[in-house]
Amino acid sequence: MTEIPLTRVIASKEKQLQIRNSVSNAVNIPGVAHIASEKDVDALTSLLDNPEISKPIYTLPQQINRNTISAFINKHIEDRALGEGLLMVSTDESGVASAYYDIQFWPQWAACELGGAIRGDRQGAGQGSDGAIAAFSWLFETIGVDLICETAALDNTRTAHLLERIGFTYMGEIESQLADGGVRPSHYWELSKANWYRRLLKK
């Protein structure tokens, strides 16, 4: 298994504390998603109970059901209290889950990894890119990370396209740790805050 992030720059104590506090106090990505709580168990289970959505994502429980999703949400509530993780859900006009975002933070390196998915009927129309860009912007500007890293299964072409168009740098193949203890080969990318702002200035 490969430990990520590959790039590790030690953050100042002040920065580490600021990131932990921002994560612990986060309630939403404005207009995009809210923190998942017990009341989201059914909606998130419905969203993820589809192998086309959940299979490409190595951080999800191996079995998707109400119990595993409830435990998944509660683990993230504990991680949020430590300033080390967030689980967020987007809902549509009918209150049905349309996307989720799972973020792991490493405050010591001012870094994080974002995973997630959007509902099948919303895929392939640019909404995944829009949601990802909103989340990346929020992570750099509101949470204050300096580095975002991403992994994807080797055959996940859409994620590769999306990340490279946004400006992520491809850094090679790694082995991702699965929830059941196994490993999965993954492609791996990073985006620094400096490159994110460089990209915005070019527009």
Ligand X SMILES: CC(C)(COP(=O)(O)OP(=O)(O)OC[C@H]1O[C@@H](n2cnc3c(N)ncnc32)[C@H](O)[C@@H]1OP(=O)(O)O)[C@@H](O)C(=O)NCCC(=O)NCCS
If one asks whether residue 18 binds ligand X (CB under 6 A), the answer comes out as no
Span near ligand X by CB under 6 A; candidates 53-61, 70-78, 101-109, 169-177:
53-61
Q: Which tokens go with 115? A: 């995973």
Residues 163-202, interacting with ligand X (CB under 6 A): 165
Q: Which lies closer to ligand X via its Cβ, residue 139 or residue 162? A: 162
Cα–Cα distance for residue pair 127/105, rounded to 1 Å: 24
Residues 60-99, interacting with ligand X (CB under 6 A): none
List the one residue out of 167, 161, 174 whose CA is nearest residue 191. 167
Span near ligand X by CB under 6 A; candidates 29-37, 66-74, 90-98, 126-134:
126-134
Return the DSSP state at 122: G
CB 154 within 8 A of CB 122: no
Cα–Cα distance for residue pair 42/163, rounded to 1 Å: 30
66-82 and 41-48 are packed helices; what angle lies between their axes, rounded to 10 degrees?
Answer: 110
- Give the residue nearest to ligand X (CB): 128
**Which residue in 75, 158, 198, 199 binds ligand X (CB under 6 A)?**
158
Note the residues at the interface with ligand X (CB under 6 A).
Answer: 53, 56-57, 115, 117-118, 123-129, 152, 156-159, 161-162, 165
